[in-house]
Structure 1
Amino acid sequence: MAISGVTLYHFLLVGFISANAAVQQPSSSRCVSVVLDPATMTLKLVDGYHPNSSVAWANFTDHQQQTGWNYLTVSTSPEYNDTLQAYAAGLVEGFLTADYIYMEWFNTMASFCHYMTSDCLKIQAFLTENLEWMEQQVKANPNDPYFYQMGLILVQVDGLKDGYMNKPDRPSIDIDPFGFLLFQADGDLGDIQTALKADSGQKRGRFAGHCSALIKLLPGNKDLFVSHDTWTEYGSMLRVVKKYNFAFRMSPKSSAFVPGREVSFSSYHGPLLSGDDYYIMGSGLVSMETTIGNDNPDLWKYVKSKGTVLEWMRTLLANRLANSVMEWTDIFSKYNSGTYNNEWMVVDYKHFTPGQPLPKEGVLAVLDQLPGQIEKKDMTWLLTKQTYWPSYNVPYFPDIFKNGGFAKQAAKYGPFMQYNSTPRANIFRRDHHKVTDMESMIKLMRYNDFQHDPLSRCNCTPPYSGENGISARSDLNPANGTYPLEFLGFRCHGGTDMKVTSSGMAKTLSMMAVSGPTHDQQPVFQWSKSPCEKEQLHLGHPDLFNFEPMKIVWEQP
């Protein structure tokens, strides 16, 4: 299926499993370029792709109602300097996705600090000081690849804002220009609030909830799958899959392109990052995380506005600059902000050959973060030994487990909070061996049979929770149930997607993806039939999330 318009990249949607599944046609697709007018030396947005004058170009396909995803590709030309490329890339994305940016803001961000209370002013001051510090470092270190790329990312955010503001038929309500920084820092905001003891009127960090991740080595080492389920509020299910191809140099004095110049990722409209954090890079790396948080109040003193880089920025820098798993963790560890504290997993497909034993190192690195502390290690040996690596919001490294307050929680709540005995640890341990191909991998990552699975039971009434599955369905817990932990009860929250790639698919930055809460063993989620209809805003969402996995393939035209 070719996308209308001439672009460097288009995508294919392929129905999965059913050999006779029809390929769905997009509801709309548009290609727009940013061209440089040589007479006035100004940038202009024009329809179509113009190979001799395009600084950046993008194709946006609206397929939200048909598949639960929109699709965006953004590319830039190496014929122009990096700063111009970065601004143009943001400009064309903001312009093309303006309507969805507004809906995303309306659904998830508009109530954050709607009234600028003294607490909100504290949060704003923190973010302003942090931005000013980053800008100072960019200016002071013009040839340092780390700060050079940081400057390009900040320029891209400016372009995104201007692209949104310049769309003539965008919704009449303006997003505060500062709000485009909030889009990027959304995962960090909850921890910033906690560290500052600030009440914004809405607890942020909607991505900083629970997620499930699995790296699975197939029998005979015939393939290596890397998969992730986002767990978050259902109001955030306005989704887009993006692919960036940016011709950025390592630094102004370098002719070499950054290793991660190409990247595809699941995302949202407004952030330049994934948010749920699932990235496939042209460097051969795949990075993803599950949130571990921090339950030790003594550590919040390490969250400072100056001298630190927020998680969203550190993620983009590591993705762009790293060429190996440990290099990724080293770059990410710089200037630890102590916000959006996650367990990161980085896989390098360059060191994986189907059918061959794994090398002693270089395939998998794991990193756990707390305020003031990061622990990271090459874990290829353990992946070889147990043939899988699971992640489920409990830190792996004992010092992180202890220092982050998790040991105290485990003493209070028992096996549920222990690394080796929490329900998802038990389910992954029991079922990972059932994965023999892509279909069975997706089946495990969408698994939730909480009413019947003994591993989903809890000291609750009823005696189980929809939280205790690989892909949560907390909306199916009765509102009048009783639960020892609040998050085990009814919430409009659960697994909102699934993404997985393989050694072959990663070479073309492709993935399998499905949008919406799992309905393999559970009823399909439908806003109009759910009590969540009145609890969370969902402008622009499909009503019925009855979607199946789709293969997303980026191809040359």
Structure 2
Amino acid sequence: MSVFCAASSLFLLLSLATIYSVNTQQPPLDSRSASVFLDTVKMKLEIVDGYHPNSTSMVAWANFTDNMQKTGWNYLTVTTNPAFNDTFQAYAAGLLEGFLAADYIYMEWFNSKASFCKSLTPDCQKIKKFLTKNLKWMEAQVKANPNDPYFYQMALILDQLSGLTDGYNKKPRKPSLDIDPFGFLLFQVGADLDSIEAALNTKSSKKRPLGGTHCSALIKLLPGNKDLFVSHDTWDEYSGMLKIIKKYNFGFRMTATSSKFIPGREVSFSSQHGPIFSGDDFYVIGSGLVTMETTIGNENSALWKYVQANGTVLEWMRNLIANRLASSVMEWCDIFSKYNSGTYNNEWMVVDYKHFTPGQDLPKEGLLAVLDQIPGEIVSKDMTWLLLNQTYWPSYNVPYFPKIFADGGFKKQAAEHGSWFSYDKTARANIFRRDHTKVTDMKSMIKLMRYNDFQHDPLSRCDCTPPFTGENAISARSDLNPANGTYPFPTFGFRCHGGTDMKVTSSSMAKTLSMIAVSGPTHDQQPVFQWSKSECDKQYLHLGHPDIFNFDPVEVNWKKP
């Protein structure tokens, strides 16, 4: 995730809220519910306390549970009433999330975003101009294509975002497509900003170290086809460990005139407070799909010309639209590929559990698709055959498809800097290849996804002093690298960065949108991360974080509060 550009207007908006002291480490919230009521006389929406799913006048209801100090996660459920029009539903969903999560949204802002840009510098003006132009283009498409499911869902996403802002301020108004580009939109475009900054040639775009990596992912077919696990590790700066798992149940139609509900009306996902998408990204969807990605970036500067404000849709919104509209793996890829922004370039994996039955032979197609994106180009294919042949699919920030690998500059980078930048010889490729056969059940799957024994594993060795790095593992611990060591790349050295969580689902769990999740840097083979005993404590704000991330896996089963 990129740090975000902060405008003074948003800073003022956040500062005016009634919030506890920024020096406080203990959050003020417990479990709380709220609903949105429609006054049909005044045609006005109001936020009321309590969980009221049985009232016909309620547009939406939500519950927020604060378990940050107990499990390292908060939890949010938001449900909308399909008896109301979709625009009201979307706006009401945003209202409730902004209202219930306001304190954590505030903390998330200061932990990871507020320090980037404190005034409207020339770089920030460039970014604001780009985002404003892109918003105007999207608004024009929404108005010109009222019966197009793609742009209809786009409008609902913007309505939800406007509700998030108003809910945070406790001032319900009305749905709007007029989004402040330096308002809560910045929570959504954080990962896209890296690419936008590079395309605009801002000063901040030149600060990124060689070989920066984000996330590990594994799809594992168990022996005898007993089960299929889908798992993801987020890699991030440790300031980003204020995490939440959300479940949305939105009664949206395909279009305003359609009676057909969207296939992905229910979804659960790991996230942070403020974004309405995952960002990690890891989604378990009611359509039977599970979608996730690892970042590949772009190493060919000539491609940044394809990052344009007009005619493109930023990645965060493209994945939400695809999650809502797709019923199959290749349909998801086709929808996601539209209006490629060339920003937040990832390798996406899409699994369709409708095509998997435990103990039975795999189908020839339809179970797994893989998509690689760079600016100006996307390649996607059904990869069910490969999963069948090798029983696993790994992903570790390197594009699989040779054309993307070459066109995106990765082939050149590997030739110049060595095998760590290659697809099949980088450390995590070697570790997954060696250890995937050890996965026989959920316990062993979690063990592999949390694996980091970098001081002893020969596959974690590098041309470094000492001769290994905490980066060369499935779940990185770069905070354990000696600060006085010598490393060929800055990312191999000491950083307050690593694997910040793990999520996994199975064929049975996916049916109820459930998952198992672990918060915080891995401590299976390594010491527990503790802010107060780490050099990271001096480098990053971590408002609301637990001091010690000594958490066990938790099973997330969705129940009414």
TM-score by length of 1: 0.92
Residues in 2 aligned to 1:39 and 1:46: alpha-carbon distance in whole angstroms: 17
Aligned to 1:130: 134
1:132-174 deviations in Å (ceiling 9; x for gaps): 1001100110110000000000000000000001279xxxxxx
Could you say what secondary structure the match of 2:234 adopts?
strand
Verify the 8 A CA contact 1:113 1:202 in the aligned structure 2.
Answer: no
Tell me if 1:141 matches 2:145: yes
User: How many pairs align?
Assistant: 524
Kept after mapping to 1: 8 A contact 2:128/2:181: no
Tell me what 1:471 maps to. Answer: 475
Return the offset for 1:268: 0.4
The question of 1:364 aligning with 2:358 is answered no
* 1:323 match: secondary structure: coil
Q: Is 2:412 the partner of 1:382?
A: no
Look up the match of 2:51: 49
Look up the equivalent residue of 2:376 and give its one-letter code. Answer: G
Aligned pairs (5 A) from 1:15-94: 28-50=30-52, 51-94=55-98
Residues 473 and 495 of structure 1 are in contact (CA less than 8 Å); yes or no, is this contact kept in structure 2?
yes
Contact in 2 for aligned 1:260/1:282 (Cα 8 Å): yes
**Contact 1:314–1:332 (CA under 8 A) maintained in structure 2:** yes
Partner Cα separation in structure 2 for residue 314 and residue 366 of structure 1: 16
Distance 1:203 1:499 in 2: 30
For the Cα contact (< 8 Å) 1:465–1:489, is it kept in 2? Answer: yes
Q: Distance in 1 between matches of 2:239 and 2:343?
A: 23
Aligned residue identity for 1:282: G
1:201 Cα offset (Å) = 9.3
CA contact 2:150–2:321 (8 Å) conserved in 1: yes
Amino acid at match of 1:28: D
1:215 matched to 2:246? The reply is no
User: Which residue of the partner structure matches residue 290 of structure 1?
Assistant: 294
Kindly report structure 1 stretches of 4+ aligned residues shifted beyond 6 Å: 201-205
Whole-angstrom distance in 2 between the partners of 1:202 and 1:182: 20
Q: C-alpha distance in 1, partners of 2:160/2:383?
A: 34
Say which SS state the counterpart of residue 124 (structure 2) adopts: helix
Q: Structure 1 residue 413: deviation in Å?
A: 1.9
Contact 2:51 2:63 in 1 (8 A): no
Counterpart CA distance in 2 for 1:130 and 1:209 is 28
Deviation of the 1:115 alpha carbon: 1.7
Pair 1:410-2:387 in alignment? no
The AA in structure 1 aligned to 2:99 is F
Which letter does structure 2 place at the counterpart of 1:86? A
The structure 2 residue matched to 1:448, chosen from 424, 434, 452, is 452
Residue in 2 aligned with 1:480?
Answer: 484
Q: CA deviation at 1:199?
A: 2.8
Distance 2:483 2:365 in 1: 48
Q: Counterpart amino acid of 1:49?
A: Y
Please state whether the residue corresponding to 2:104 is helix, strand or coil: helix
Q: Does 1:544 align with 2:556?
A: no
Instruction: Map 1:37-436 to 2 at 5 A.
Output: 37-50=39-52, 51-166=55-170, 178-199=182-203, 209-436=213-440
Secondary structure (helix, strand or coil) at the match of 1:451 reads: coil
Report if the CA contact (8 A) 1:112-1:204 is conserved.
no
Distance 1:158 1:197, change over 3 A: same
Q: Secondary structure in 2 aligned to 1:317?
A: helix
Corresponding residue number in structure 2 for 1:6:
none
Shift, 1:202, TM fit: 10
SS in structure 1 opposite 2:557? strand
Give how far 1:195 is off.
Answer: 0.5
Corresponding residue of 1:14: none
Q: Which amino acid in 1 is paired with 2:481? A: N
Letter in 1 for 2:395: S
Distance 1:203 1:508, change over 3 A: farther
Q: Does the alignment pair 1:457 with 2:450?
A: no
1:164 alignment partner AA: Y
Mapped partners of 1:378, 1:392: distance in 2: 19
Equivalent residue number for residue 5 of structure 1: none
- The SS at the match of 1:86 is helix
What CA deviation, in whole Å up to 9, does each residue of 1:485-504 have, x standing for no partner? 11111100000000000000
Cα separation, partners in 2 of 1:448 and 1:167, compared to 1, 3 Å: farther
Worse-superposed segment, 176-185 or 378-387: 176-185
Task: Name the amino acid aligned to 2:214.
Answer: H
Distance in structure 1 (CA, Å) of the matches to 2:162 and 2:560: 29
Distance in structure 1 (CA, Å) of the matches to 2:190 and 2:339: 18
Asked if 2 retains the 8 angstrom alpha-carbon contact of 1:111 and 1:201, the reply is: no
Check 1:204–1:190 CA distance in 2 against 1; reply closer, same or farther (3 A cut): farther
What is the one-letter code of the residue matched to 1:43? Answer: L
1:114 is displaced (CA, Å) by 1.3
User: Alignment identity in percent?
Assistant: 75
- Structure 1 residue aligned with 2:16: none
Query: Which region of structure 1 is more displaced relative to structure 2, 195-204 or 128-137?
Result: 195-204
Q: Shift of the alpha carbon at 1:75? A: 0.4
Match of 1:526 in 2: 530
Give per-residue Cα distances to partners, 1:155-199, cap 9 Å, x unaligned.
00000000001279xxxxxx9872300100111001100110013
**Structure 1 CA distance, aligned partners of 2:94 and 2:277?**
12
Cα distance in 2 between the residues matched to 1:287 and 1:452:
33
- Distance in 2 separating the partners of 1:448 and 1:176: 42
Distance (Å, rounded) in 1 between the aligned partners of 2:473 and 2:533: 22
1:54-87 superposed Cα distances (whole Å, 9 cap, x missing partner): 1011000011011000000000001100000000
Cα deviation code 1:74-126 (max 9, x no counterpart): 00001100000000000011000000000001111112321211111001100
* Residues 220-249 of structure 1, C-alpha deviations (whole Å, 9 max, x = no match): 000000000000100000010000000000
Contact 1:61 1:71 (8 Å CA) reproduced:
yes
Cα separation, partners in 2 of 1:201 and 1:486, compared to 1, 3 Å: closer
Residue 464 of structure 1 deviates from its aligned partner by 0.2
Stretches of structure 1 lacking an aligned partner (at least 5 in a row): 1-25, 169-174
CA RMSD of aligned residues (A): 1.7
The alpha-carbon deviation at position 554 of structure 1 amounts to 1.1
**What secondary structure sits across from 2:512 in the alignment?**
coil
Residue 496 of structure 2 is aligned with which of 492, 498, 505? 492
Q: CA deviation at 1:27?
A: 7.3
Distance, in Å, in 1 between the alignment partners of 2:540 and 2:43 is 46
Residues of 2 paired with 1:232 and 1:357: CA distance?
37
5+ long unaligned stretches in structure 2? 1-27, 173-178
Query: Could you tell me how far 1:215 is from its partner in structure 2?
Result: 0.1
Amino acid at match of 1:242: K
Check whether the contact 2:194–2:205 (CA below 8 A) recurs between aligned residues. no
Alpha carbons 1:526, 1:545 under 8 Å: kept: yes
Distance 2:305 2:29 in 1: 50
CA contact (8 A) 2:243 2:270 kept: yes
Residues in 2 aligned to 1:403 and 1:57: alpha-carbon distance in whole angstroms: 47
- CA contact 1:190–1:203 (8 Å) conserved in 2: no
Answer whether contact 2:132 2:181 (CA < 8 A) is retained: no
Asked if structure 2 preserves the Cα contact closer than 8 Å seen for 1:104 and 1:238, the reply is yes
